[in-house]
Amino acid sequence: MSNGNKIGELKTTGQLRTMLANAAKGVMQGQLDIEKAAALHKLAKNISDSLYSETKIAMFRKEAGQKLEGFGEMLIGDPSDD
């Protein structure tokens, strides 16, 4: 990739969409089997669900006047467990 990312590394939602579109094209052209495509779809859906959840939490925090975390930096669990 020309943007400095390692091959196969996903850093943006746009890259995720491109990967999924390429996978769909690969299935249509017979270069990617359905099982691998289904596994990619499942992983991408999990990423998408996580982004959606984080977005909703940010919206609620903003409405409540709470501090907003950077995307991908929201704490999970109890910080005192470190």
* pLDDT value, residue 3: 46
* pLDDT value, residue 51: 85
Per domain, the residue ranges of the chain are 7-59
* pLDDT value, residue 29: 95
Global model pTM greater than 0.75: no
Encode the chain (82 residues) as per-residue pLDDT tens digits. Answer: 344 545 567 777 788 888 889 999 999 999 999 999 999 889 888 988 888 888 898 899 999 999 888 777 766 677 677 6
- Do 23 and 39 touch, CB atoms closer than 8 A? no
